[in-house]
């Protein structure tokens, strides 16, 4: 995925109602999630951007696979850590349902319904496998922000606020209205 494709996908998600987002558009949900994480972890841009893009996989396949599909789309542009967090936000939900007795009660009705399609609670082996990931704690934080990011009408910074940070994470710099990557122009110029 290219930077313009990612921006186009995010912008077009303003009209896409997310399956788990309780009536919010995917963009509104992602913006709320990124903002929530910016308040919790202001110095962790990767985690914030993972919050912004965590549900883009919904545009490419079924809910059960959206974490993996989204990770595959953003990995080349935003890096492995952001992609892994996007991928792990669904297993983090399953982990929390398994290990935190009060968590299921915090899920929205739609998140509770999609839990079954996503595999339901973890087995003991799945818990151990999840915890073996060096990104498990961050994925749990992303998941909790995901759950908190479903407030209709909540005022958060718009997509334009995140564009410079996305550009930075992608290693892009704008030169004369064109994108420059690692010192080489990507617009096909010589």
In sequence order, which residues have a C-beta less than 8 Å from that of residue 116 and are 6 or more positions away? none
Distance CA 89, CA 81 (A): 12
In sequence order, which residues have a C-beta less than 8 Å from that of residue 43 and are 6 or more positions away? none
pLDDT at 180: 43
Q: Tell me the CATH architecture of domain 3-159.
A: Orthogonal Bundle (1.10)
The proportion of the chain whose per-residue pLDDT surpasses 70, expressed as a percent, equals: 87
Q: How many residues does the chain have?
A: 190
Encoding tokens for residue 148? 């908190």
Using one digit for the tens of pLDDT, what is the confidence trace for 123-168?
A: 999 999 999 999 999 999 999 999 999 899 899 999 999 999 999 9
Mean pLDDT within 173-187: 41
pLDDT at 175 over 80: no
pLDDT at 176: 42
Closest CA to 4 of 189, 187, 188, 190: 187
Most confident of the following: 6-15, 67-76, 167-176: 67-76
Q: Where are the beta strands (DSSP E) in 27-181?
A: 172-175, 178-181
Q: How far is CA 153 from CA 24, 106, 134, 150, 163, in A?
A: 9, 20, 35, 9, 22
Mean pLDDT within 27-48: 97
Per the listing, tokens 């509770």 go with: 112
Distance CA 140, CA 89 (A): 7
pLDDT at 112: 85
pLDDT at 177: 46
Quickly state the pLDDT bin for 173 (edges 50, 70, 90): low
* Chain-centroid distance, C-alpha 17: 15
Domain ranges of the chain: 3-159
Task: Check if the beta carbon of residue 78 is closer than 8 Å to that of residue 49.
Answer: yes
pLDDT at 64: 87
Mean pLDDT within 42-66: 94
Mean pLDDT for the chain overall: 87
Closest CA to 70 of 51, 84, 49, 56: 56
């Amino acid at each position: 995925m290219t930077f313009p494709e990612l921006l186009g996908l995010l912008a077009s998600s303003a009209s896409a109602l997310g399956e788990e987002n309780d009536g919010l558009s995917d963009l509104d949900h992602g913006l709320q999630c990124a903002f929530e994480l910016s308040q919790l972890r202001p110095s962790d841009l990767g985690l914030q951007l993972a919050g912004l893009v965590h549900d883009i996989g919904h545009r490419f396949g079924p809910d059960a696979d959206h974490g993996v599909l989204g990770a595959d789309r953003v990995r080349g542009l935003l890096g492995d850590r952001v992609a892994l967090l996007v991928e792990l936000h669904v297993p983090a939900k399953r982990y929390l349902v398994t290990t935190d007795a009060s968590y299921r009660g915090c899920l929205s009705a739609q998140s509770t319904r999609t839990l079954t399609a996503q595999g339901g609670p973890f087995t003991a082996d799945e818990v151990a496998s999840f915890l073996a990931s060096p990104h498990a704690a961050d994925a749990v934080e992303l998941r909790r922000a995901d759950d908190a990011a479903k407030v209709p009408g909540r005022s958060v910074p718009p997509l334009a606020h995140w564009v410079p940070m996305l550009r930075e994470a992608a290693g892009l710099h704008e030169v004369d209205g064109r994108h420059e990557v690692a010192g080489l122009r990507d617009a096909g110029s010589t």
